[in-house]
A and B are shown apart, each in its own frame.
Chain A
Amino acid sequence: MPMTLAEKILAAHTDRGNVHPGELLEVRVDFCFGNDITAPIAIKAFRESGARKVFDPQRVALIPDHFTPNKDIASAMQVKILRDFAREFGIAHYFEVGRMGVEHALLPELGLVLPGDVVIGADSHTCTYGALGAFATGVGSTDLAAAMITGTTWFKVPASMKFVYHGRLKPWVGGKDLILYTIGQIGVDGARYMAMEFTGPVIENLPMSHRMTMANMAIEAGAKVGLFAPDEITRQYIEGRAQRPYTFYASDADARYETIHEWDVSTLDPMVALPHLPENVKPVTDLPEIPIDQVVIGSCTNGRLEDLREAAAVLKGRKVHSSVRCLVIPATQKIYRDALDEGLLQIFLDAEAAVSTPTCGPCLGGHMGILAAGERAVATTNRNFVGRMGHPESEVYLSSPAVAAASAVLGRIAHPDEVR
């Protein structure tokens, strides 16, 4: 029977040759992890179960990234739970400040999540690794506790939706615009329970960082996973990083899809998601004048080196508008160092932007850039729900790094071409 990419990966992690959408399966897990918000609850369940070891200390990660460097006593106590557990159970991948990064940027960078893997993380943006061709999805803390003990989890096999992107992208248009456009078309519920599979000529040439941005936001369409079939671009990314063997899977030509969307994206402009839902998407060129107070360039969506390069290309030789605070947050320590070596940090500092150590920080309204009532931010993050970045009466507009940087310069939401 023909199978989709999602079905093939799941089948390979059971003792079955074939799996069907809707079926409940017990599957082996290649890697699992939690963060400073979710792991403490999983650790509590783990300890209460009486388990004496994790299934494989090399395949579990604990990543304190949301409130680190610890913003207050409560967050320090949470992180201590992770640190103590990591020491006691010999967890190989625990990351202290100075070595850490935002989980979904860090794990692929270190080659810990790989093509063909089944990965579960107690965080909704675990779907990011679909960019590598891994079946990766967010679960609850109880699921993480169980997986840390058994190395298995259960899934309902999702049906697949195929997205085919034709044409040639305009300058300043990339993965963020493609995924915002897609969510705008199908809605925040448009892929509920489903595996999204991104394909077509545009995708075949799309760099890995842009694929990660797209897979990252599959959850914003309600999807369980957002997948790219591994190819030469994947191979180049993986080579020299992979910590384990990996497998490239691809959908069969006659695999069954619940729906297929085909779009020519040649005329697509940079997109912005307006408050307060990621589906509330408009081309930046259609927006009226919207003055802003803050810009955030970072997060698991767009905090990678390529994103910083894109922002720096716009900010180079310019200044952040006098009424705007611009925060640049490299997603990992390595990205921070590479940005330093390439002179990007110099460009940001010259532009009078603030550069922070890696953290989720403002993305979830945690710390490091909280909005006041009535304030407006353009952010390269993934969620613009009410109060996501601070006060319930603040607003978040989601965009690519280029649009965010242009907006920082002009003090209003702007197309990168407007900066000159």
Chain B
Amino acid sequence: MTGPTARRPCGDGANQFTGSIWIFGDDVDTDAIIPARYLNTSDPQELAKHCMEDADPEFPGKVRPGDILVAGKNFGCGSSREHAPIAIKAAGVSCVIAVSFARIFYRNAFNMGLPILECPEAVREAGQGDTFSVCLETGEIHNVTRGRSYQAAPVPPFMIELLQSGGLMGYVKKRHLWESRS
């Protein structure tokens, strides 16, 4: 479903992100997301300083909290490093929308608490610097600049809880460990 439709409400608003978009191409690999030369640390803030630097040297300096990454097919291909979604998240990016994601990046992103959505139509019609408003609950992506809405697969409640817990281990601690102790 695409088109200039009216937006539906997005739950309590906690899982709605609005921000400027940064557009990248197809096959952005994990080396472009965080170059291997910076992998001698796993400190998120250090990684964030170099996020996407080889694809766009200006990105780390200019990205604002809440901004949204938009990319083509196979985003996050290459190595299985978990540093890639960590760097993107620490750079302040609220979510990534791509035509498709590399298999391991897809898993790593959720496990590290970075929301991602697949939506080819939204990517195709986007322009650099457009403003997107994204609702994880409904999967609706609204291009505010162009007044058009797109439908991605909604993120189910357990995955939203996982993202809100900061990723898989946070979710496990919250859901399984604290419960079993009380």
Contact = CB atoms under 8 A, between A and B. Distances in A.
Interface of A: 22-26, 45, 48-51, 139-140, 142-143, 145-146, 149-150, 154, 156, 192-193, 222, 224
Contacts of B159: 24, 154
A149 B176 CA distance: 8
Interface string B151-182: 00101101100100001110111011100000
Given A49-B177, A140-B108, A146-B172, A24 B155 contact: yes
B177 A154 contact: no
A26 B158 contact: yes
A154 B162 contact: yes
23 contacts: A23-B156, A24-B159, A25-B156, A49-B172, A49-B173, A49-B177, A50-B177, A51-B176, A140-B82, A140-B107, A140-B108, A142-B82, A142-B168, A143-B107, A146-B168, A146-B169, A149-B176, A150-B175, A154-B159, A154-B162, A156-B106, A192-B103, A224-B103
B141 to A, nearest CB: 16
Contacts of A139: 107
A142 B153 CA distance: 25
B111 interface: yes
Q: Taking chain B's interface residues, is the majority helix, strand, or loop, or is none over half, making it mixed? A: helix
A156 B156 CA distance: 11
A319 B80 CA distance: 42
Contact of A143 (B106, B156, B168, B175): B168
A202 B23 CA distance: 48
A193 B100 CA distance: 11
Nearest to B167: A142
A24 B104 CA distance: 15
Given A49-B172, A49-B177, A140 B80 contact: yes
Contacts of B175: 150
Nearest to A20: B153
- Pairs of residues from A and B, 10 with the lowest C-beta to C-beta distance, nearest first: A146-B172, A150-B176, A146-B168, A142-B111, A26-B158, A24-B159, A24-B156, A149-B172, A49-B173, A22-B153
B104 A140 contact: yes
Contacts of A22: 153
Contacts of B106: 156
Contacts, number: 58
Contacts of A193: 103
B111 A143 contact: yes
B59 interface: no
Contacts of A142: 82, 111, 167-169
Given A143-B107, A154-B110, A193-B103, A49 B169 contact: yes
Interface string B29-57: 00000000000000000000000000000
Interface in B95-114: 103-104, 106-108, 110-111
Interface in B80-103: 80, 82, 103
B168 A222 contact: no
Contacts of B168: 142-143, 146, 154
Given A142-B82, A222-B103, 8 more contacts: A22-B153, A24-B153, A24-B159, A26-B158, A140-B108, A145-B172, A154-B158, A154-B159
A222 B103 CA distance: 8
B15 to A, nearest CB: 14
B166 to A, nearest CB: 12
B8 to A, nearest CB: 20
B169 A145 contact: yes
A51 B158 CA distance: 21
A204 B69 CA distance: 47
A145 B162 CA distance: 15
Contacts of B176: 51, 149-150
Contacts of B153: 22-24
Nearest to B172: A146
B103 A140 contact: no
Contact of B172 (A25, A150, A156, A222): A150
Contacts of B82: 140, 142
A150 B180 CA distance: 11
B175 to A, nearest CB: 8
Contacts of A150: 172, 175-176
A168 to B, nearest CB: 35
Contacts of B110: 154
A343 B124 CA distance: 64
